[in-house]
Chains A and B, each alone.
Chain A
Amino acid sequence: MTTTAKTPDRIDAILRACRLMLRMNKARPDARKSEVLYYEMLIDYCTQLATARQQGRFIAAHTVFFPSEILYAMDIVPMHTETTSWMTALFLGEYADLLAAGAEQGLSSEICSPHRGLAGALTIGALPRPDVVLWSNMVCDNTAKCGELLMRITASPGFFLDRPFQRSEAEVQYFVEELRDMIAFLELQSGLKMDWDKLSETVRHMDEQIELFRDINRLRQAVPSPFHPLGFLELVTVDYLFPGRPKATEYLRTLRDELAAAVAEHRGAVPEERYRLMTLFMPPMYLIGFLEKLSREYGAVSVTEPFFCNWGEGRLDRKKPLESIAQKSYMLPESHMFGPMSDKAISEIVDSARRYQVDGAIYYADVGCRHTCATIKLFRDALSDLDVPVLTVDCDVVDPTVTSEGEMREKLERFFELLEDRR
């Protein structure tokens, strides 16, 4: 196991930003208790990552939707590659040097920026060197293909987790066996053993968390919406970083109760809710603060995000932890994005628009994300049947050179005017 005392800069910087956010939240008289818990979790995550080397702990870098429940159950420190990239853009706004370092590795500018930035960050030592690299084909070709280069950059061994495209019994079983192989790989590399009781408990928490996600989503149907304009980003982060963690369960329970109280009191998240929006895909992380402010200014609230918040049917069974983790990958709200875009998936969008009474939808067309952008026309056509207008905004999730704050303001203001005219 490799250990060095040096803490990489970006994690330290993200940690400082999270601590500042926590202090600010605690100082606000109207702060949500759940928000405090959220920042505490982020701080724990980053602290663990920042101190892992000093403590001789084993770090696994892993791509998005990777079942980190397994890592937690093995006491392995996870480093979520895409979210670490996003947090760098969100909290620090510093990304150019990472993209430049990624380009020096030979990565074309057409590869999505979080992956290029991540390769760059590991190249220049802005993130801790992982002991292993874990990646999968959830969600796209970039996640499926990034691992071998990351292995080369970090001189670490790696494991590719092959998750089948569709959901037959044979495919779920294939994935279960893949998970078993990965656990064997991790045990061999880390010298740590899988704690099956802990995994079972993690799955139990995850099952409760999925139920809480569903409750929270139902509460968000209320008019006015009780959750803040871009609150879904919190939910997404919680599942990406803390699946099956007890504190995540506590966060979700707290949030659910807060939202239920707000709904009972007809209290909305913004002073005057004017536009109920559907958000399709990820807004630019470096503009989140601005988007939040603009949303409040115009009374625009994202009330539904089908591909981030609509969990599929089913329950997890703690007695069958690996099968449950495999099934969870097909229940994820994002799972339509890495499976066939069935008629059912498309009708779910329309159904969400109806249930959440949306006035319009915003499609954040990330220039680096091909498979999501290929659905723009499908969703636009489906929503037009309900007469829901769709704004498509070209952007990049972390690279500010694609869309500026000014451009974003102009596009959104025009869209809000259109929504106003349609009233």
Chain B
Amino acid sequence: MSTVCADSKCASPGMMQRFREANRTFPKSPEILSAKARGQKVMGWVCTYVPEELLHAAGALPVRISGYAKETDLQDGTAYFYVNNCSFARSCLQLGLRGDYDYLDGFVAGSTCDAARRLFDLWRHYVPVPFSHVMTVPRKYSERALDLYLSQVVQLKKGLEAYLNVEITDESLMKSIGLYNESRSLLKALNDLRKLGEPPINGSQTIEVMNASARMPKETFNDLLRELLRDLEHSKQRGKGRARVMIAGSALNNAEFIQSIEQIGGLVVTDELCTGTRYGADPVAVSDHDEPLRAIARRYLHNFPCARMYPSEERFQRMLNLIREFRVDGVISQTIRYCSPYSNDLPLLSDVLNRNGIPMLSLDVEYGTSGSGQILTRVQAFLEMLEARRK
């Protein structure tokens, strides 16, 4: 039996505690509440197709809307959303309905999937905020789609300027782009450590860092992450596992889910989650002849895609690249129940991975799950199979 690293052993315990605290107290994290107390506007956003740089450049604090990072009875969320909508959306709405996001000045969403757009509809109706905006997000990568998405970014900019009574200048956009790119670069450095045979940080700790990344001012987060990276650089502790695993799927905020896999010997080295790798993926690349807004639009539309985009091949190819770079032995796909984009892609993903000789375990889960007995039994069997293949 192999071992995985606990905080006390391999990651910087003090730094991890900072990230963990921001997550434990979320949505009412001290960092958010103090920004609010200073008079800063707080803008909630849903889905990785909403350009955070724009919210930041407008002087607001962008906060990613998420649900309970634990198994929770979703009575209210279900009453408003009905039971057949994904538990991520129901969980987010329930927090909203119960007043946990009562500090929000705005709510920005994209037409990314049915659950996200209906979350916007229900939020607007039942959890009203002074500013609400939904963006049309094309599903293609073409230049025409980029032009359309850019027009949506421009609309959002105008809306923010009008509501906040500010001018979002190219200069302020460039500053925000720089800040967010720095964050992506730091996250890349963190993830690169996981390419090592024995990484100094494990998957559950990485998820804690990722969760915190969208729940505090980016400036603070970057400082904390830089410190964590310094600590990890000198850490002598290393994680080991029976097999190197990638987690695939949409939103995952409960680090316990990853931890439960790691506790039985899975070494979670990468993921393609929208709360993980995809969030911190490509930087905004501004070339000499580019307008900052166009560069932002290109990054968000062409970033490591969600299953909503067409063709799916782009996502699969990015996954295969990660699988190669991180020397992944097997993929654990965690599909949140009633998530149509990911459910529909599953047969195709399964084919792609089969053709490339990568085993996949497909789990249907509820958002917030920590990994129940039945799930762990299946993960255990999967890890045994992966271990046998390595020998």
Contact = CB atoms under 8 A, between A and B. Distances in A.
B343 A162 contact: no
Q: Which interface residue of B145, B337, B344, B348 has the most chain A CB atoms within 10 A?
A: B344
Contact of A375 (B121, B147, B347): B121
A106 B340 contact: no
Q: Which interface residue of B82, B85, B335, B338 has the most chain A CB atoms within 10 A?
A: B82
A341 interface: yes
Interface of B: 79-82, 84-86, 111, 113-115, 117-118, 120-122, 125, 134, 136-140, 144-145, 147-148, 151, 155, 307-308, 310-312, 335, 337-338, 340-341, 343-348, 350-351, 364
Contacts of B351: 152
A110 B136 CA distance: 26
Interface stretch (A140-148, A269-277, A299-307): A140-148
A374 B114 contact: yes
A401 interface: no
Contacts of A369: 84
Q: Which interface residue of A108, A140, A367 has the most chain B CB atoms within 10 A?
A: A108
Given A165-B117, A376-B82, A149 B310 contact: no
A110 B115 CA distance: 14
A137 B139 contact: yes
Contacts of A341: 118, 121
A166 B138 CA distance: 11
Interface in A350-390: 365, 367-371, 373-378
A44 interface: no
B282 to A, nearest CB: 21
B337 A110 contact: yes
Contacts of B138: 162, 164, 174
A141 B344 contact: yes
B364 A371 contact: no
16 contacts: A107-B347, A141-B113, A141-B308, A145-B341, A152-B351, A160-B310, A162-B138, A162-B139, A162-B140, A174-B147, A365-B82, A370-B82, A370-B85, A370-B118, A374-B114, A374-B122
B121 A374 contact: yes
A177 interface: yes
Given A160-B139, A162-B310, A164-B148, A374 B118 contact: yes
Closest 8 CB pairs of A and B: A106-B347, A145-B344, A165-B111, A141-B340, A374-B118, A373-B82, A371-B114, A165-B136
A105 interface: yes
Given A110-B337, A110-B338, A144-B139, A370 B344 contact: no
Contact of B364 (A108, A141, A142, A145): A108
B82 A145 contact: no
Contacts of A234: none
Contacts, number: 134
A148 B348 contact: yes
Contacts of A371: 114, 117-118
B347 to A, nearest CB: 3
Q: Is the interface of B mostly helix, strand, loop or mixed?
A: helix
B344 to A, nearest CB: 4
A42 to B, nearest CB: 29
A183 to B, nearest CB: 15
A17 interface: no
Contacts of B145: 162, 174
B75 to A, nearest CB: 13
Given A110-B343, A141-B114, A162-B145, A368 B84 contact: yes
Contact of B134 (A146, A149, A340, A374): A340
A170 interface: yes
Contacts of A105: 347
A164 B140 CA distance: 11
A378 B344 contact: no
A174 B301 CA distance: 16
Contact of B343 (A107, A165, A374): A107
Contact of A174 (B82, B137, B144, B345): B144
Nearest to A112: B340
A171 interface: yes
A152 B351 CA distance: 11
Contacts of A137: 139
